[in-house]
């Protein structure tokens, strides 16, 4: 059995999704973390080889493709939306439509300069991770999506607290707290956090 212990705010896997773990030699959480990290680095290299336009990124196809690149060597279901409900996120049957609505809103806000690029990126991150489209990897995927969105606007990536957010830490607590404040419509903490 895989020993899956979770830091605060991490989504527990359903037993059937844990079965989708591809590397059979993995038996501990730290081995899994290391493997995932390697897989994500490959995705980062793939991303840096692309020269993406904002309109290409803001699509269901790209969102799924990025998740597949980040986790495709780790989970058999990588790149596919959830088929079960979580304690967080959209009702699973509504995921595709909610992503579509989010993409349309962001495209509208880009073309109307509704917010600064930084604020729009932070709001995009908050809404994407709130939908929680995948069974796992939503935090890392939506942070990278947000960074790609920024890069496509010629902006620097966010620093996201300048520390790994995957482990339990003060920085992770700050991050989760800032998302919870954003749930209430207050983006101040999140805006400060992403550039800290």
Helix or strand or coil: residue 75?
A: strand
Residue 176 touches Mg ion, criterion: CB under 5 A: no
Binds 189: which of ligand ATP, Mg ion, none (CB < 5-8 Å by kind): none
Q: Minimum CB separation from Mg ion for residue 65, in Å?
A: 20
Q: Summarize as ranges the residues that interact with ligand ATP (CB under 6 A).
A: 9-11, 88, 129, 136-140, 165-166, 176, 179-180
Terminal alpha carbon distance of the chain: 38
Helix or strand or coil: residue 91?
A: coil
Selection from 116, 117, 138, 119 nearest residue 129 by Cα: 138
Structure tokens that stand for 194 in this block: 């992403």
Q: Minimum CB separation from Mg ion for residue 139, in Å?
A: 6
Q: Minimum CB separation from Mg ion for residue 112, in Å?
A: 34
Burial class (CB in 10 A: 0-12, 13-18, 19+), 125: buried
Residue 51 or 176 with smaller CB distance to ligand ATP = 176
Residue numbers at the binding site for Mg ion (CB under 5 A): 10, 136
């Amino acid at each position: 059995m895989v020993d899956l212990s979770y830091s605060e705010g991490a989504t527990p896997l359903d037993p059937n999704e844990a079965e989708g773990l591809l590397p059979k030699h993995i038996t501990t959480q730290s081995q899994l973390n290391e493997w995932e990290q390697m897989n994500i680095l490959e995705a980062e290299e793939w991303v840096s080889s692309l020269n993406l336009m904002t309109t290409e990124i803001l699509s269901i196809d790209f969102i799924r493709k990025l998740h597949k690149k980040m986790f495709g060597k780790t989970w058999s279901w990588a790149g596919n939306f959830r088929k079960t409900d979580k304690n967080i996120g959209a009702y699973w049957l509504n995921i595709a439509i909610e992503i579509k609505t989010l993409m349309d809103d962001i495209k509208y806000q880009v073309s109307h300069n509704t917010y600064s690029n930084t604020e729009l990126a932070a709001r995009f991150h908050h809404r994407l991770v709130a939908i929680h489209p995948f069974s796992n990897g939503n935090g890392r995927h939506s942070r990278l999506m947000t960074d790609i969105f920024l890069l496509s606007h010629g902006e620097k990536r966010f620093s996201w607290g300048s520390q790994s957010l995957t482990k339990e830490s003060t920085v992770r607590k700050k991050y989760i707290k800032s998302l919870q404040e954003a749930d209430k419509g207050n983006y101040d903490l999140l805006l400060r956090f992403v550039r800290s």
